[in-house]
Amino acid sequence: MFEMNTTETYNQLLKSIREIAHFGATRSLLSWDQETYMPSRGATSRAEQLAAMSGLIHERITSDSIRKLLDDLGADSELGPEAVTNIRETRKQHDRATRVPRDLVTEMARTSSLASEAWKKARAEEDFESFAPWLEKTFELKRRYADCIGYQTEAYDALLDEFEPDASGEWISSLFDPLREALGPLVASIVESDVTPLDLTQFTYDIETQKELSRAILKAIGFEFEAGRLDIAAHPFCSGINVDDVRLTSRYEENDFTGALYSAMHEGGHGLYEQGFNRDHAYTPMASSISLGVHESQSRFWENMIGRSQPFCHLLYPELQKRFPEACQHFDIESLYKAINKVAPSFIRVESDEITYNLHVILRFEIEREVLAGHLPVLKIPDAWNEKMESALGILPSKPSLGALQDVHWSFGLIGYFPTYTLGNIYSAHLNQALRNDHPQLDDEIRKGSFATPLKWMRENVYRHGMRYKPVELIERACGQPISPSPLVEYLKNKFEPIYQK
């Protein structure tokens, strides 16, 4: 019988994993359409389509042919670091998937599609109880999934590893606990301050003009519209179909241009990462994100550390003057800078400031971890939510849409996803610090409207590596120091203390 040599075997593996990735891209496109243009009555059939596609992907990644190719290749370092990465990550996907029966995979996909529609209805009607059965089913399915995958300490670790490889609940807590302790006094000092930034929502901003502004800023920072688009969704997101097809969404309100602009920049940061992968490795782990924490580091970096910086305001203000001249009569660059960096305890995570945002994430991390462990019943989530919100931020939600029903993530079955948001903030602070150490002239470039330096630096230190390095290793290689919350705390203090001092 003819036996393939190592190179031929590897090429056959590449062909197989790229085919599987095409199915995954198709599934992503179906999900994107569900959140943007799909008619409401299409929900049931879309759930079946997504379930079928998920089942097909599971069948392919767990196939005997994939297993044989992986066995024949071993770790094979002779093919180079890119091949080692693709083999290692495909083996991890195969091993993980083979532990989960196909019927559980299809049931999770079907449930998440239907549960997301139930969440929309429950949120609109302020009815957590109607959504609770779906949430209970979701958590139960994820418990079964975690049991299939296996774990050493807690089921949450098996789910977390899917989004942040090698992370654990204990490790997350070791970062989040000191971060919360540091942020509490900072929030308190700001709340007690007499400084009151201008309220930009007292003015109106034409929505079509807001869309033009968002597109102009995205283009300026490097997002390629020939390989992407910007649409509208209830909950802004980025869907990377492939490196040449990256879909961003935002939402618009007539009295708040900042919500749309910074949602676009946030999702644009994700989009720059997706467009920054090496096209030669398309549809392989070498052209995929290593973790959601690293992905989030890009959205938070571009939204906040670039978009809400003082130099950026020198670029943004003239753009606002051209588009919203009447509103701009009431503020200047300095008041704009303070306004877009206003700190105030608020109910909605996606609308919260850079500091309190992390407290929102920690709240969700603690709740989902407790629910999955069986320590907190689903029907008690609103009570636990309100207690933690009042403790952390001193405010109490008056209705579910301001509390436990505000996020879509749990309806999608994304348990273990939330901590990656604050991990992204921690990673982005490390990256921002290293970038500025390498390029002390960066602020001057931003004032002039040039973003080539940060984009090139991120491409070289983050994007091009795909899944070659684990998240912590990737960030530490780029920044030269171990992961800790200290750079984030330092960044926040250095930025916000001057704003809130008279």
60 with 23: CB under 8 angstroms? yes
Residue 248, strand partner residues: 230, 238
In the annotation, is 267 catalytic? yes
CA angle at residue 493 from 492 to 497, to 5 degrees? Answer: 120
Q: Is 164 exposed, middle or buried (0-12, 13-18, 19+ CB in 10 A)?
A: buried
Q: What backbone torsions phi and psi does residue 248 show, to the nearest 5 degrees?
A: -105, 150
114 with 131: CB under 8 angstroms? no
Q: Please identify which of the residues 107, 162, 164, 267 carries the catalytic annotation.
A: 267
3-state secondary structure of 230: strand
SS (H, E, C) 87-116: HHHHHHHHHHHHCCCHHHHHHHHHHHHHHH
Q: What backbone torsions phi and psi does residue 386 show, to the nearest 5 degrees?
A: -65, -40
465 with 474: CB under 8 angstroms? yes
End-to-end Cα spacing for the chain: 82
435 with 457: CB under 8 angstroms? yes
Q: Is 178 exposed, middle or buried (0-12, 13-18, 19+ CB in 10 A)?
A: middle
Using CA atoms, how far apart are residues 19 and 205, in angstroms rounded to an integer? 45
Helices (H) and strands (E) in the chain, counts: 21, 3
- What does the block give as tokens for 384? 């636990």
Residue 333: how many other CB atoms lie within 10 Å: 15
Which parts of 37-168 fold into alpha helices (H)? 43-61, 64-73, 81-98, 102-125, 128-149, 155-163
| Residue 300 Ramachandran class (φ > 0 left, ψ -120 to 50 alpha, else beta) | alpha
- What does the block give as tokens for 234? 């209830």
Residue 66, strand partner residues: none
- Beta strand 238-242 with 228-232 is unpaired
Catalytic residue numbers, as ranges: 267
